[in-house]
Structure formats: C-alpha cells, structure tokens
Amino acid sequence: MKKVAPPQIDTLLRLMAQADSPQNLEAMQYVVFQFDFKEYEQFIIECPPGSIRFNNLLRVAVFCDSLGFLVENDSLDREAIYELFPIPWAKVEPIIMGMRRELDWPDAFDYFERLGRDYLKWWEGKRKRVKPLPPITESPGAPKALTVARTRPPAPVRPPAPPRPTSGAMAARPVAAVRPAPTPVAAVAAKPTLRVLAKPSLKLGKAIKVVKKSKSVSKASRSKPKPKTKGKQR
C-alpha cells in the first residue's frame, strides 16, 4: 500500500472517529455479525421502518455510500479505505435491491454498490497473498470442558468444633429455682362519679347554674321543718 498524504490522513482520522461512535459501531457490528436476511420481503416484515435493525442497516448503507463518494472523487485512497473499514455489500445487496424496486429509486446507494463490488475484487486478490491459518489440533485425551484457573487462594480450613456436652453433664448442672408467678393485683373499686346531663340547647355556663340552683333548693327543703297535720274534726 502506498503512503497516504497528510490531508487524507486527517480525513481518515475523522472518518474513524465517526465510525467508532456508539450508534455507528453498533450498526456495523449488527450488519457484519448478525445480519442474515436473503429476501427484502422477509426483512421489511421483521424489521419495519423505524425499528432498530432497520435503522442499523440505513446507518451502514449511508456511511459506506459516503466512503464510495470520497473514493471516486480521489479524496481518499481506495486501498487505505479497504484496509481500515469493512464494506459489507455482499450481505445487504438483496435488501438494497428490493428497496430500490419498492421506492422506485434505481440509484439508491449506488456509490456503496460500486465500492462494495470493487472491494470484493480487492479482497479476492489479497486472500491469495495472505497465508492461511493452521488448523486447530486437539489431543485425543484432552477434556472438552473448559477449566478456569484459580485466581484466589483456597480458604483456610477451620478447626473442628468441640463436642457438645452429654446428658450426664447437663444433669450435673444446678437447676435454677423457678420463681412463682406474681399474683394479680385486685382492681380497686372506683368511686361512682356524678355526671351532669345538660340539655343540648343549654350552654355549659347555664348548665352549671342550673345544677347549683337545684342543689340549693334541695338543701333548703331539708332544713325547713315539715308542718304537722291536724286531725280531722269530729
């Protein structure tokens, strides 16, 4: 890969910061690792416009379309873009084609399409130059379950607890004397209280005056001697 000019390096750094934003990064991860739709009709039913997965597809298509525009106008080096950014045109091609038919928009994301097709040719040539990874060899006696190494020291062993006392030892202990329950205290008879009933129409002051007047009348009647009754005249 040839050296990139300083103005293009500044543009690449800005594009990398934009691609690493949380929303764009989540959208690219979804399309690269989880997107598996092969027909537009199935995609539009399960991911209607406005849903999270539909918005993720649009984010990736718009970002890659912008990259294709910059590459075709010689603002960025084509090979540098292929080395830094994934171009998932092969995965979303049937969905973009169905979107063009439904919206009657034949050139929708055309820069993304041309960039993606050229990316596939570049990747086929690079795959021949890249050395393949050696196959994974497993020993026949190796267990399939994964073992996790200990990161903490084992807990110290606690000393055994002393044996509990037997029934004989329990019987040898002095038994505390049982205290008698306190006898219930007889309730003290309360003196009858005098209640003054006043009419609802009378106020409290008037009711008290009425009670005092009745008491004075009763005392006067008791102190006055009763007249003697005369016998019947014959």
In a domain, 19, yes or no: yes
In 3-state terms the chain splits into helix, strand, coil percentages (rounded to 5) of: 50, 0, 50
* 232's tokens: 């019947």
- pTM exceeds 0.85 for this model: no
Under the banding of pLDDT at 50, 70 and 90, the label for residue 166 is low
Residue 34 structural domain: 10-127
Residue given tokens 């008290």 in the structure block? 208
What was the pLDDT predicted at 227?
54
CB 92, CB 34: distance < 8 Å: no
Distance in angstroms (rounded) separating the CA atoms of residues 211 and 201? 15
Q: For 153, phi and psi rounded to 5 degrees?
A: -70, 155
pLDDT tens, position by position, 116-157: 999 999 998 888 888 888 887 776 665 555 555 555 666 777
Total domains, the chain? 1
In a domain, 57, yes or no: yes
In a domain, 201, yes or no: no
Distance in angstroms (rounded) separating the CA atoms of residues 172 and 167? 9
In a domain, 101, yes or no: yes
Q: CB neighbours of 53 closer than 8 A, spacing ≥ 6?
A: 30, 46, 47
Higher pLDDT, 156 or 168: 156
The dihedral built from the CA positions of residue 131, 5, 32 and 121, taken in this order, carries a sign that is negative
What was the pLDDT predicted at 67?
96
In a domain, 193, yes or no: no
In a domain, 80, yes or no: yes
